[in-house]
Chain A
Amino acid sequence: MKSKILSVLQSVSPEADFVNSSNFLADGLMDSFDVVIITTSLEEVFQIAIPGDQITPENYASLDQLADLVMRCTVLARS
Protein backbone atom coordinates (compact mmCIF):
# COMPACT_ATOMS: atom_id res chain seq x y z
CA MET A 1 0.00 0.00 0.00
CA LYS A 2 2.77 2.41 0.92
CA SER A 3 4.48 1.99 -2.43
CA LYS A 4 1.24 2.83 -4.20
CA ILE A 5 0.81 5.90 -2.01
CA LEU A 6 4.38 6.91 -2.72
CA SER A 7 3.73 6.62 -6.45
CA VAL A 8 0.76 8.96 -6.09
CA LEU A 9 2.85 11.47 -4.12
CA GLN A 10 5.70 11.34 -6.63
CA SER A 11 3.35 11.80 -9.55
CA VAL A 12 2.26 15.09 -7.99
CA SER A 13 5.71 16.29 -6.89
CA PRO A 14 8.40 14.23 -8.66
CA GLU A 15 11.23 16.29 -7.19
CA ALA A 16 10.13 16.03 -3.54
CA ASP A 17 11.84 13.62 -1.12
CA PHE A 18 8.82 12.01 0.50
CA VAL A 19 10.78 9.04 1.78
CA ASN A 20 13.00 11.06 4.10
CA SER A 21 10.46 13.60 5.27
CA SER A 22 8.60 13.20 8.54
CA ASN A 23 6.27 16.10 7.85
CA PHE A 24 5.37 16.76 4.22
CA LEU A 25 3.54 20.00 4.85
CA ALA A 26 6.06 21.49 7.28
CA ASP A 27 8.88 20.54 4.93
CA GLY A 28 7.11 22.30 2.07
CA LEU A 29 6.68 19.16 -0.03
CA MET A 30 3.02 19.82 -0.70
CA ASP A 31 0.70 22.80 -0.66
CA SER A 32 -3.04 22.84 -0.07
CA PHE A 33 -3.80 22.31 -3.74
CA ASP A 34 -1.39 19.37 -3.93
CA VAL A 35 -3.47 17.93 -1.10
CA VAL A 36 -6.54 18.18 -3.33
CA ILE A 37 -4.80 16.36 -6.19
CA ILE A 38 -3.38 13.71 -3.85
CA THR A 39 -6.78 13.16 -2.26
CA THR A 40 -8.57 12.57 -5.54
CA SER A 41 -5.71 10.37 -6.79
CA LEU A 42 -5.79 8.22 -3.62
CA GLU A 43 -9.56 7.91 -3.95
CA GLU A 44 -9.15 6.72 -7.51
CA VAL A 45 -6.28 4.31 -6.87
CA PHE A 46 -7.75 2.72 -3.74
CA GLN A 47 -11.44 3.10 -4.65
CA ILE A 48 -12.21 4.93 -1.44
CA ALA A 49 -13.86 8.17 -0.37
CA ILE A 50 -11.87 10.41 1.96
CA PRO A 51 -14.25 12.51 4.09
CA GLY A 52 -13.51 16.23 4.14
CA ASP A 53 -12.90 16.28 7.89
CA GLN A 54 -10.15 13.70 7.43
CA ILE A 55 -8.20 15.96 5.08
CA THR A 56 -6.11 17.45 7.85
CA PRO A 57 -2.41 18.44 8.11
CA GLU A 58 -1.94 15.55 10.57
CA ASN A 59 -3.32 12.89 8.22
CA TYR A 60 -1.20 14.18 5.33
CA ALA A 61 2.04 14.63 7.29
CA SER A 62 3.85 11.40 6.39
CA LEU A 63 3.68 8.15 4.48
CA ASP A 64 2.69 6.28 7.64
CA GLN A 65 -0.13 8.65 8.41
CA LEU A 66 -1.39 8.57 4.84
CA ALA A 67 -1.32 4.77 4.95
CA ASP A 68 -3.37 4.84 8.17
CA LEU A 69 -5.83 7.19 6.52
CA VAL A 70 -6.20 5.00 3.44
CA MET A 71 -6.66 1.95 5.68
CA ARG A 72 -9.40 3.66 7.71
CA CYS A 73 -11.18 4.80 4.57
CA THR A 74 -10.89 1.32 3.03
CA VAL A 75 -12.54 -0.20 6.09
CA LEU A 76 -15.21 2.49 5.87
CA ALA A 77 -15.80 1.73 2.20
CA ARG A 78 -16.23 -1.99 2.94
CA SER A 79 -18.56 -1.55 5.90
Chain B
Amino acid sequence: MKASFSHVRIAGVLSVVPSRVSFFDDEVVNYSHSPANSRKLKMAMGYDQHRVAEPGVTTSDLACFGLQRLFDEHQIDPASIGAIFFVSQTPDYVVPPTSAYIHGKFAFPQDTYCIDINDGCCGYIKALYEAAACLSCTATQRALIIAGDVLSAKVSIHDRNSYPLIGDAATITLLEKTAVPSPLDIEIFYDGRGYDKLMIPAGGARLACSTATAELQTDEDGNRRSANHLVMQGRDVFAFTQTVVPEFMTAFLVRHDLTPEDIDVFLLHQANAFILDRLRAKLGVGKEKVPDLVIRKFGNSSSGSIPMCIATSLPTLDGVKAMACGFGVGLSWGAALFELKHLDFCKVIDF
Protein backbone atom coordinates (compact mmCIF):
# COMPACT_ATOMS: atom_id res chain seq x y z
CA MET B 1 0.00 0.00 0.00
CA LYS B 2 1.39 3.35 -1.04
CA ALA B 3 -0.31 6.67 -0.34
CA SER B 4 0.50 10.35 -0.58
CA PHE B 5 -1.30 13.09 1.29
CA SER B 6 -0.71 16.75 0.63
CA HIS B 7 -2.26 18.78 3.46
CA VAL B 8 -1.81 16.89 6.71
CA ARG B 9 0.64 17.62 9.51
CA ILE B 10 1.65 16.25 12.87
CA ALA B 11 0.68 19.10 15.18
CA GLY B 12 1.74 17.67 18.52
CA VAL B 13 3.01 14.61 20.34
CA LEU B 14 2.66 13.77 24.01
CA SER B 15 4.04 10.59 25.55
CA VAL B 16 2.93 9.26 28.90
CA VAL B 17 5.14 6.76 30.71
CA PRO B 18 4.70 5.07 34.06
CA SER B 19 6.91 6.68 36.72
CA ARG B 20 8.18 3.27 37.86
CA VAL B 21 11.66 2.59 36.49
CA SER B 22 12.93 -0.97 36.32
CA PHE B 23 16.66 -1.61 35.88
CA PHE B 24 18.10 -4.49 33.91
CA ASP B 25 20.79 -5.06 36.55
CA ASP B 26 18.07 -5.78 39.09
CA GLU B 27 16.25 -8.17 36.73
CA VAL B 28 19.21 -10.41 35.94
CA VAL B 29 18.33 -12.69 38.86
CA ASN B 30 15.05 -13.58 37.10
CA TYR B 31 16.88 -15.21 34.19
CA SER B 32 18.48 -18.62 34.00
CA HIS B 33 21.42 -17.24 32.00
CA SER B 34 24.79 -16.44 33.55
CA PRO B 35 25.00 -12.92 34.99
CA ALA B 36 28.22 -12.34 33.02
CA ASN B 37 26.50 -13.05 29.70
CA SER B 38 23.51 -10.99 30.69
CA ARG B 39 25.85 -8.06 31.35
CA LYS B 40 27.40 -8.47 27.88
CA LEU B 41 23.92 -8.56 26.42
CA LYS B 42 23.10 -5.37 28.28
CA MET B 43 25.85 -3.54 26.43
CA ALA B 44 24.96 -4.97 23.02
CA MET B 45 21.20 -4.53 23.23
CA GLY B 46 21.09 -1.20 25.01
CA TYR B 47 19.37 -2.70 28.05
CA ASP B 48 19.59 -0.23 30.86
CA GLN B 49 16.27 0.83 32.23
CA HIS B 50 12.66 0.72 31.16
CA ARG B 51 9.29 1.91 32.37
CA VAL B 52 6.93 -0.64 33.82
CA ALA B 53 3.36 0.14 34.83
CA GLU B 54 2.00 -0.84 38.21
CA PRO B 55 -0.25 -3.92 38.05
CA GLY B 56 -3.75 -3.01 36.89
CA VAL B 57 -2.73 0.10 34.98
CA THR B 58 -3.80 -0.11 31.34
CA THR B 59 -2.78 1.64 28.15
CA SER B 60 -6.01 3.64 28.27
CA ASP B 61 -5.21 4.80 31.83
CA LEU B 62 -1.96 6.29 30.55
CA ALA B 63 -3.70 7.75 27.50
CA CYS B 64 -6.54 9.31 29.51
CA PHE B 65 -3.99 10.83 31.90
CA GLY B 66 -2.25 12.42 28.92
CA LEU B 67 -5.45 13.61 27.31
CA GLN B 68 -6.58 15.23 30.56
CA ARG B 69 -3.24 17.04 30.75
CA LEU B 70 -3.61 18.31 27.18
CA PHE B 71 -7.16 19.48 27.83
CA ASP B 72 -6.17 21.14 31.12
CA GLU B 73 -3.32 22.94 29.35
CA HIS B 74 -5.70 23.95 26.54
CA GLN B 75 -3.44 22.29 23.97
CA ILE B 76 -6.44 20.52 22.48
CA ASP B 77 -10.14 21.26 22.59
CA PRO B 78 -11.92 17.89 22.70
CA ALA B 79 -14.78 19.37 20.68
CA SER B 80 -12.36 19.84 17.77
CA ILE B 81 -11.48 16.14 17.47
CA GLY B 82 -13.19 14.33 14.61
CA ALA B 83 -11.53 10.93 14.93
CA ILE B 84 -9.68 8.77 17.45
CA PHE B 85 -7.41 5.94 16.31
CA PHE B 86 -6.33 3.72 19.20
CA VAL B 87 -3.38 1.51 18.24
CA SER B 88 -2.50 -1.16 20.76
CA GLN B 89 -2.15 -4.86 21.47
CA THR B 90 -3.28 -4.33 25.04
CA PRO B 91 -6.88 -3.11 24.87
CA ASP B 92 -8.88 -2.76 28.07
CA TYR B 93 -11.45 -5.28 26.87
CA VAL B 94 -12.05 -7.67 23.99
CA VAL B 95 -15.37 -5.85 23.60
CA PRO B 96 -15.91 -2.85 23.39
CA PRO B 97 -13.11 -1.03 21.53
CA THR B 98 -10.87 0.95 23.86
CA SER B 99 -11.28 3.98 21.58
CA ALA B 100 -14.97 4.01 22.53
CA TYR B 101 -14.06 3.75 26.21
CA ILE B 102 -11.71 6.72 25.86
CA HIS B 103 -14.35 8.63 23.91
CA GLY B 104 -16.75 8.20 26.81
CA LYS B 105 -14.29 9.62 29.31
CA PHE B 106 -14.15 13.08 27.75
CA ALA B 107 -16.33 15.61 25.99
CA PHE B 108 -15.64 14.43 22.47
CA PRO B 109 -18.44 15.06 19.96
CA GLN B 110 -20.80 12.18 19.23
CA ASP B 111 -19.79 12.22 15.58
CA THR B 112 -16.15 11.61 16.45
CA TYR B 113 -15.10 8.47 14.60
CA CYS B 114 -13.54 5.90 16.96
CA ILE B 115 -11.68 2.78 15.96
CA ASP B 116 -9.15 0.37 17.45
CA ILE B 117 -6.21 -0.88 15.42
CA ASN B 118 -4.82 -4.13 16.84
CA ASP B 119 -1.19 -3.71 15.93
CA GLY B 120 2.32 -3.39 17.23
CA CYS B 121 5.60 -2.02 16.00
CA CYS B 122 4.37 -0.87 12.58
CA GLY B 123 1.04 0.26 14.02
CA TYR B 124 1.93 3.94 14.18
CA ILE B 125 2.61 4.06 10.43
CA LYS B 126 -0.73 2.36 9.77
CA ALA B 127 -2.54 4.80 12.05
CA LEU B 128 -0.86 7.71 10.29
CA TYR B 129 -2.27 6.36 7.06
CA GLU B 130 -5.76 5.85 8.51
CA ALA B 131 -5.83 9.27 10.15
CA ALA B 132 -4.42 11.08 7.11
CA ALA B 133 -6.95 9.36 4.85
CA CYS B 134 -9.74 10.32 7.21
CA LEU B 135 -8.61 13.97 7.27
CA SER B 136 -8.17 14.06 3.51
CA CYS B 137 -11.48 12.43 2.57
CA THR B 138 -13.86 13.90 5.14
CA ALA B 139 -14.69 17.24 6.71
CA THR B 140 -12.75 16.20 9.79
CA GLN B 141 -10.12 18.80 10.72
CA ARG B 142 -8.28 17.08 13.56
CA ALA B 143 -7.64 13.49 14.56
CA LEU B 144 -5.92 11.81 17.46
CA ILE B 145 -3.67 8.79 17.23
CA ILE B 146 -3.33 7.10 20.60
CA ALA B 147 -0.58 4.51 20.26
CA GLY B 148 1.14 2.37 22.85
CA ASP B 149 1.04 -0.66 25.03
CA VAL B 150 1.31 -1.93 28.56
CA LEU B 151 3.09 -5.08 27.52
CA SER B 152 4.68 -5.69 30.92
CA ALA B 153 1.51 -7.57 31.81
CA LYS B 154 1.89 -9.76 28.74
CA VAL B 155 5.59 -10.61 29.00
CA SER B 156 7.08 -13.08 31.44
CA ILE B 157 9.60 -11.58 33.85
CA HIS B 158 11.61 -14.79 33.29
CA ASP B 159 11.88 -14.18 29.54
CA ARG B 160 15.23 -12.55 28.82
CA ASN B 161 14.36 -12.35 25.13
CA SER B 162 11.49 -9.94 25.69
CA TYR B 163 11.11 -8.55 29.20
CA PRO B 164 14.18 -6.27 29.26
CA LEU B 165 13.09 -4.77 25.94
CA ILE B 166 9.57 -3.70 26.64
CA GLY B 167 8.61 -0.30 27.95
CA ASP B 168 5.08 0.64 28.86
CA ALA B 169 3.82 3.88 27.35
CA ALA B 170 0.87 5.58 25.70
CA THR B 171 1.42 8.32 23.16
CA ILE B 172 -0.97 10.90 21.81
CA THR B 173 -0.40 12.42 18.39
CA LEU B 174 -2.50 15.27 17.08
CA LEU B 175 -2.86 15.25 13.31
CA GLU B 176 -4.53 18.14 11.55
CA LYS B 177 -5.52 19.33 8.13
CA THR B 178 -3.46 22.24 6.81
CA ALA B 179 -4.25 25.09 4.44
CA VAL B 180 -0.71 25.13 3.09
CA PRO B 181 0.89 22.09 1.43
CA SER B 182 2.29 19.61 3.93
CA PRO B 183 3.20 16.32 2.29
CA LEU B 184 2.91 13.00 4.07
CA ASP B 185 3.97 9.92 2.09
CA ILE B 186 3.31 6.45 3.46
CA GLU B 187 4.07 2.89 2.39
CA ILE B 188 2.99 -0.28 4.23
CA PHE B 189 3.78 -3.93 3.48
CA TYR B 190 2.86 -7.29 4.95
CA ASP B 191 4.07 -10.86 4.98
CA GLY B 192 1.37 -12.73 6.89
CA ARG B 193 3.29 -15.98 6.59
CA GLY B 194 5.27 -14.66 9.53
CA TYR B 195 2.17 -14.18 11.71
CA ASP B 196 3.61 -16.43 14.43
CA LYS B 197 7.02 -14.80 14.66
CA LEU B 198 5.69 -12.39 17.27
CA MET B 199 2.55 -13.52 19.01
CA ILE B 200 0.62 -14.08 22.20
CA PRO B 201 -0.76 -17.60 21.58
CA ALA B 202 -3.60 -17.58 24.11
CA GLY B 203 -6.40 -15.14 24.79
CA GLY B 204 -8.17 -15.03 21.44
CA ALA B 205 -10.89 -17.23 20.00
CA ARG B 206 -8.46 -19.89 18.79
CA LEU B 207 -7.01 -20.60 22.23
CA ALA B 208 -8.83 -19.20 25.23
CA CYS B 209 -6.89 -18.39 28.39
CA SER B 210 -7.06 -21.19 30.91
CA THR B 211 -5.11 -22.67 33.78
CA ALA B 212 -3.16 -24.70 31.25
CA THR B 213 -2.21 -21.69 29.13
CA ALA B 214 -1.01 -19.87 32.25
CA GLU B 215 1.54 -22.58 33.07
CA LEU B 216 5.15 -21.47 32.68
CA GLN B 217 7.24 -23.57 30.29
CA THR B 218 11.00 -23.37 29.74
CA ASP B 219 12.08 -22.95 26.13
CA GLU B 220 15.29 -24.25 24.57
CA ASP B 221 17.07 -20.97 25.37
CA GLY B 222 16.22 -21.18 29.07
CA ASN B 223 13.46 -18.56 29.04
CA ARG B 224 10.31 -19.29 31.03
CA ARG B 225 6.97 -18.11 29.75
CA SER B 226 3.37 -19.27 29.31
CA ALA B 227 1.02 -19.26 26.33
CA ASN B 228 -0.53 -16.12 27.80
CA HIS B 229 2.76 -14.30 27.27
CA LEU B 230 4.31 -12.65 24.25
CA VAL B 231 6.69 -14.97 22.41
CA MET B 232 9.23 -13.78 19.86
CA GLN B 233 11.14 -15.99 17.43
CA GLY B 234 14.27 -13.92 17.92
CA ARG B 235 16.37 -15.34 15.12
CA ASP B 236 13.68 -14.98 12.46
CA VAL B 237 12.64 -11.54 13.60
CA PHE B 238 16.26 -10.40 13.60
CA ALA B 239 16.78 -11.75 10.08
CA PHE B 240 13.65 -9.89 8.97
CA THR B 241 14.94 -6.62 10.44
CA GLN B 242 18.30 -7.00 8.71
CA THR B 243 17.17 -8.05 5.26
CA VAL B 244 13.60 -6.98 4.45
CA VAL B 245 13.62 -3.75 6.46
CA PRO B 246 16.87 -2.15 5.18
CA GLU B 247 16.06 -3.14 1.59
CA PHE B 248 12.64 -1.56 1.99
CA MET B 249 14.05 1.63 3.53
CA THR B 250 16.52 2.03 0.70
CA ALA B 251 13.86 1.37 -1.94
CA PHE B 252 11.47 3.77 -0.21
CA LEU B 253 14.05 6.53 -0.37
CA VAL B 254 14.79 5.79 -4.04
CA ARG B 255 11.07 5.85 -4.87
CA HIS B 256 10.93 9.32 -3.33
CA ASP B 257 14.06 10.43 -5.17
CA LEU B 258 15.94 10.80 -1.91
CA THR B 259 19.18 9.55 -0.39
CA PRO B 260 19.82 8.98 3.32
CA GLU B 261 21.71 12.28 3.35
CA ASP B 262 18.49 14.12 2.45
CA ILE B 263 16.82 12.92 5.64
CA ASP B 264 17.50 14.87 8.83
CA VAL B 265 16.31 12.18 11.20
CA PHE B 266 15.31 8.54 10.95
CA LEU B 267 12.62 7.77 13.49
CA LEU B 268 12.99 4.00 13.64
CA HIS B 269 10.90 1.67 15.71
CA GLN B 270 12.94 1.20 18.89
CA ALA B 271 13.39 -2.57 18.65
CA ASN B 272 16.74 -2.72 20.43
CA ALA B 273 20.10 -0.97 20.16
CA PHE B 274 21.75 -3.87 18.34
CA ILE B 275 19.18 -3.78 15.53
CA LEU B 276 19.11 0.02 15.38
CA ASP B 277 22.87 0.24 15.13
CA ARG B 278 22.98 -2.22 12.25
CA LEU B 279 20.15 -0.49 10.40
CA ARG B 280 22.01 2.78 10.84
CA ALA B 281 25.18 1.24 9.45
CA LYS B 282 23.23 -0.10 6.49
CA LEU B 283 21.85 3.37 5.81
CA GLY B 284 25.36 4.77 6.11
CA VAL B 285 24.36 7.66 8.36
CA GLY B 286 25.75 8.97 11.64
CA LYS B 287 24.41 8.15 15.08
CA GLU B 288 22.98 11.63 15.43
CA LYS B 289 20.46 10.84 12.70
CA VAL B 290 19.09 7.71 14.35
CA PRO B 291 17.93 8.46 17.90
CA ASP B 292 17.99 5.47 20.26
CA LEU B 293 17.31 7.12 23.59
CA VAL B 294 13.89 5.49 23.84
CA ILE B 295 15.19 1.94 23.90
CA ARG B 296 17.93 2.84 26.37
CA LYS B 297 15.88 4.88 28.84
CA PHE B 298 12.23 3.97 28.36
CA GLY B 299 12.00 0.63 26.56
CA ASN B 300 10.23 -0.54 23.44
CA SER B 301 6.58 0.53 23.58
CA SER B 302 5.70 -1.15 20.24
CA SER B 303 3.37 1.20 18.34
CA GLY B 304 4.30 3.99 20.74
CA SER B 305 8.03 3.88 20.06
CA ILE B 306 8.09 6.20 17.03
CA PRO B 307 6.07 8.98 18.68
CA MET B 308 8.18 8.39 21.82
CA CYS B 309 11.17 9.01 19.58
CA ILE B 310 9.69 12.31 18.42
CA ALA B 311 8.82 13.39 21.95
CA THR B 312 12.29 12.62 23.33
CA SER B 313 14.25 14.06 20.39
CA LEU B 314 12.90 17.60 20.42
CA PRO B 315 13.90 20.41 20.51
CA THR B 316 16.57 19.30 18.04
CA LEU B 317 13.91 17.95 15.65
CA ASP B 318 12.14 21.23 15.00
CA GLY B 319 11.95 21.99 11.27
CA VAL B 320 13.35 18.76 9.95
CA LYS B 321 12.63 16.21 7.26
CA ALA B 322 11.87 12.92 8.98
CA MET B 323 11.49 9.36 7.82
CA ALA B 324 9.69 7.11 10.28
CA CYS B 325 9.93 3.36 9.87
CA GLY B 326 8.04 0.69 11.79
CA PHE B 327 8.52 -3.07 11.55
CA GLY B 328 7.37 -6.08 13.49
CA VAL B 329 4.28 -8.10 14.30
CA GLY B 330 2.40 -9.36 11.24
CA LEU B 331 4.98 -9.46 9.91
CA SER B 332 4.54 -5.97 8.62
CA TRP B 333 6.70 -2.97 7.86
CA GLY B 334 6.16 0.53 6.65
CA ALA B 335 7.51 4.03 6.46
CA ALA B 336 6.28 7.60 6.50
CA LEU B 337 7.97 10.69 5.17
CA PHE B 338 7.02 14.05 6.63
CA GLU B 339 8.30 17.34 7.96
CA LEU B 340 8.25 18.07 11.67
CA LYS B 341 8.02 21.73 12.58
CA HIS B 342 6.35 24.08 15.01
CA LEU B 343 4.65 21.39 17.05
CA ASP B 344 2.04 22.72 19.45
CA PHE B 345 3.28 20.32 22.11
CA CYS B 346 5.99 17.72 22.25
CA LYS B 347 7.02 16.16 25.54
CA VAL B 348 7.14 13.12 27.80
CA ILE B 349 5.29 13.12 31.10
CA ASP B 350 5.21 10.65 33.97
CA PHE B 351 2.00 8.89 35.03
Q: Chain A interface (Cβ within 8 Å of chain B)?
A: 12, 28, 31-37, 39-41, 49, 51-53, 55-57
Q: Chain B interface (Cβ within 8 Å of chain A)?
A: 33, 37, 40-41, 43-45, 160-161, 220-222, 234-235, 238-239, 241-243, 246, 274-275, 278-279, 281-282
A32-B221, A57-B235 as given contacts; A52 in contact with B43, CB under 8 Å:
no
CA distance A52 to B272 in the complex (A): 13
Q: Give A34's nearest chain B residue, CB to CB.
A: B37
Is the CB–CB distance between B238 and A55 below 8 Å?
yes
With A37-B41, A51-B278 already in contact, 15 other A-B pairs whose C-beta atoms are closer than 8 Å:
A32-B161, A32-B234, A33-B33, A33-B41, A36-B41, A36-B274, A37-B37, A40-B274, A51-B242, A52-B238, A52-B246, A52-B278, A52-B282, A53-B282, A55-B238
Please name all residues of chain B whose beta carbon is closer than 8 Å to the beta carbon of A53 when the two chains form the complex: 242-243, 246, 282
Please name all residues of chain B whose beta carbon is closer than 8 Å to the beta carbon of A37 when the two chains form the complex: 37, 40-41, 44
Q: Give A49's nearest chain B residue, CB to CB.
A: B281
Q: Would you give 24 A-B contacts (Cβ < 8 Å), ordered by A?
A: A12-B37, A31-B220, A31-B234, A32-B235, A33-B33, A33-B161, A33-B221, A36-B44, A37-B37, A37-B40, A37-B41, A37-B44, A39-B44, A40-B274, A51-B281, A52-B238, A52-B246, A52-B278, A53-B243, A53-B246, A53-B282, A55-B242, A56-B239, A57-B235
Give the distance to chain B from A30, nearest Cβ to Cβ, in Å.
10
Chain A: interface secondary structure?
helix
Q: Give A28's nearest chain B residue, CB to CB.
A: B220
Please name all residues of chain B whose beta carbon is closer than 8 Å to the beta carbon of A55 when the two chains form the complex: 238, 242, 278
CA distance A35 to B44 in the complex (A): 11
Give the distance to chain A from B18, nearest Cβ to Cβ, in Å.
26
Please name all residues of chain B whose beta carbon is closer than 8 Å to the beta carbon of A56 when the two chains form the complex: 239
Please name all residues of chain B whose beta carbon is closer than 8 Å to the beta carbon of A35 when the two chains form the complex: 235
A12-B37, A31-B220, A52-B242 as given contacts; A40 in contact with B44, CB under 8 Å:
yes
CA distance A41 to B36 in the complex (A): 13
Is the CB–CB distance between A51 and B41 below 8 Å?
no
CA distance A73 to B108 in the complex (A): 57
Please name all residues of chain B whose beta carbon is closer than 8 Å to the beta carbon of A31 when the two chains form the complex: 220-222, 234
